[in-house]
Structure 1
Amino acid sequence: MYKAVIFDLDNTLLNYDLCESDSMRLTGRKHGLERWERFTWELFWEAFAPINWVYWSERIERKLTIHQVLEYSFRDTLQRLEWDAVHSVPLARTYWEHFCELCHFEDGAQELLTELHGSRKLAVISNGIGEAQRKRTASGNIAHLFDAFIISDEVGFLKPDRSIFEIALGELGLDRTEVLYIGDSLEIDGVGAGNAGIDFCFYNRGRLPVQGPFAPQYAIERLSELPAVIASRG
């Protein structure tokens, strides 16, 4: 029997993509980006997205704070599009403020948490930034539902390192055989759970083919399907 369910956060319980796009549009509105010469959102995102991904991916190796990741991403984007990079710092600050306030849920996430709360322990393991993850779940009024809330930048380990899962098990006071982990990434969430010897449920939100070396124990396409997976263990 599963005595606890541990969730990934972004694109599992929370819709990261929508939070990101809404935060950026609110930032653009405040700073008047849409009035800039030649500005279109398509042009901006085409430049920003790959730049931001590189800085985010290299943040640990380069010892970058999230504020530096954002400032450098905006700076390089503005330079590439031949706009004044002096705006990068205020844009980054405004974006982060909005992002930390927004909590857009994946379909069925609130209902799922309400259904599971009280019947077993709930927890989060996220590779995100503690400030944002804690503020967003508080904004969505779900922070109080979790018995453990493990964020990579607060504990010093990133999924798929088994250590971050072991920290969660310690806080929950449970054995690895008593918990189920659910996340949207086979390579990060699935491999991490496997490294820790924890059963894994793949939230296949993109409805991708599930096969090969990363094939999970369970796979669902809607969060509403998770209770049936849990019940299968008795």
Structure 2
Amino acid sequence: MKPSFIYFDLDNTLLDHISAEGKAQHSTYDHYQELQQVPIDQWLKQYQVVNHLLWESYQRDEIDRYELQSARFRNTMEKFELDTARSEEIGKYYMNSYREYWTWVDGAQSVLKLVSSKVKSGIITNGFKETQELKFDKLNIKEYCSPLLVTEDIGKLKPHPIVFDVATEKAGVPREEILYVGDSFSSDIVGGNNAGWKTAWFTALIDKEASRNGNTDVSADFEFEDFEDLLNYLDL
């Protein structure tokens, strides 16, 4: 059965977060001498570990968004015993730089334009409200999708069931008629499956094994690396 409503994830599904993050990190590294005491590859690897752990803590309500934002550079710098006096300034520089590099994932815009003209479409995204809304504006997502759901407004992050309950109500169709397209296995595929939705796993930008994290009990209804394949799956 074809879906009567399609939700898309935003980061690393429609917007190339990995590319933007990498370019912003290099810009930040080049701008601050404190960071240059550590080789860039070591810095990036440690930052990813720190940031991932902080997001997990945020997801468990152990820290708030402000602690997450202030701690990711500070904690990474502390790991390398760097001077953290300007860590907050560095974090703000990074965020401003990150916004300069937002672009569509290859093929995503044309496919979203076509899909949304045929099937009602919306967005569900984790992340901070102000940042995600700026992304909506930068990519002109409102032209294609409604509703645009940022989980911070709901009070829980994906894959919490309440997120998918709210999204189901907003879609106004039965659960089994909703398809969710996303890159995160735990947040999007497991969350969508648990909600009784169909799921499509976009894997072009991610490490599939790392994203799955040993979870072999759940499978996506469809897996793809090229957005043209999603059109074929939807028979559009």
Task: Place the TM-score, normalised by the shorter chain, in its bin.
Answer: 0.7 to 0.9
Residue in structure 2 matched with residue 63 of structure 1 by the alignment: 63
Q: Which residue is 1:22 aligned to? A: 23
Q: Give the distance between the partners of 2:15 and 2:35, measured in 1 at CA.
A: 32
Q: CA deviation at 1:208?
A: 4.4
Contact 1:101 1:139 in 2 (8 A): no
Shift of 1:37: 5.7
Aligned residue for 2:233? 229
Q: Following the alignment from structure 1 to structure 2, what is the Cα–Cα distance between the partners of residues 221 and 37?
A: 35
**What is the alpha-carbon distance in structure 1 between the residues aligned to residue 118 and residue 43 of structure 2?**
46
User: Structure 1, residues 174-224: CA drift from partner, whole Å, max 9, x if none?
Assistant: 221222111112332111111111111121325848993212221222111
Task: Determine helix, strand or coil for the equivalent of 1:122.
Answer: strand
Q: 1:32 is aligned with what amino acid?
A: Y
The two structures have a TM-score, normalised by structure 1, of 0.87
Give 2:11's aligned residue.
Answer: 10
Say whether the 8 Å CA contact 1:19–1:99 is kept in structure 2.
yes
Unaligned segments of structure 2, at least 5 residues = none
Shift in CA distance, 129/215, structure 1 to aligned 2, threshold 3 Å: same
The letter of the residue matching 2:235 is: A
Cα separation, 2, equivalents of 1:208 and 1:173: 32
Counterpart CA distance in 2 for 1:43 and 1:62 is 27
Alpha-carbon deviation of 1:25? 2.3
- C-alpha contact 2:198 2:221 (8 A) present in aligned 1: yes
Letter in 1 for 2:15: L
Kindly indicate whether the alpha-carbon contact (under 8 Å) linking 1:4 and 1:120 is maintained by their aligned counterparts in 2. yes
The 1:195–1:46 alpha-carbon spacing in structure 2 relative to 1, beyond 3 Å, is closer
Deviations 1:66-92 (A, max 9, x none): x42232121122233232111101011
Structure 1 contact 101–135 (Cα < 8 Å) conserved: no
Letter in 2 for 1:109: A
Contact map agreement 1:100 1:133 (CA 8 A) in 2 = no
Q: SS where residue 118 of structure 1 aligns?
A: helix
Q: CA RMSD in A?
A: 2.4
Query: Structure 2: how far apart are the matches of 1:194 and 1:48?
Result: 31
1:204-223 equivalences in 2 (<5 Å): 204-205=203-204, 206=206, 208=208, 212-223=216-227
Rounded to whole Å, the distance in 1 between the matches of 2:5 and 2:35 is: 50
**Residues 155 and 208 of structure 1, relative CA distance in 2, 3 Å threshold:** closer
Contact 2:38-2:80 within 8 A present in 1 as well: no
Which residue in the other structure is 1:108 paired with? 107
Report how many residues are paired. 229
Within 5 Å, give how 1:147-166 maps onto structure 2: 147-166=146-165
- Cα deviation, 1:82-135, whole Å, max 9, x if unaligned, reads 321111010111212233454222221111112113222111111222221111
Paired residue secondary structure (2:117)? coil
Q: Distance in 2 between matches of 1:184 and 1:36?
A: 30
Q: Percent identity?
A: 24
Specify the alignment match of 1:94 in structure 2: 93
Distance in 2 of aligned mates of 1:37 and 1:12 = 32
- The residue that corresponds to 1:46 in the other structure is 45
97-106 or 78-87, larger mean C-alpha shift: 97-106
> Is 2:32 aligned against 1:32?
yes
Asked whether the 8 Å contact 2:29–2:35 carries over to 1, the reply is: no
CA distance in 1, matches of 2:208, 2:158: 21
Gaps of 5+ in 1: none
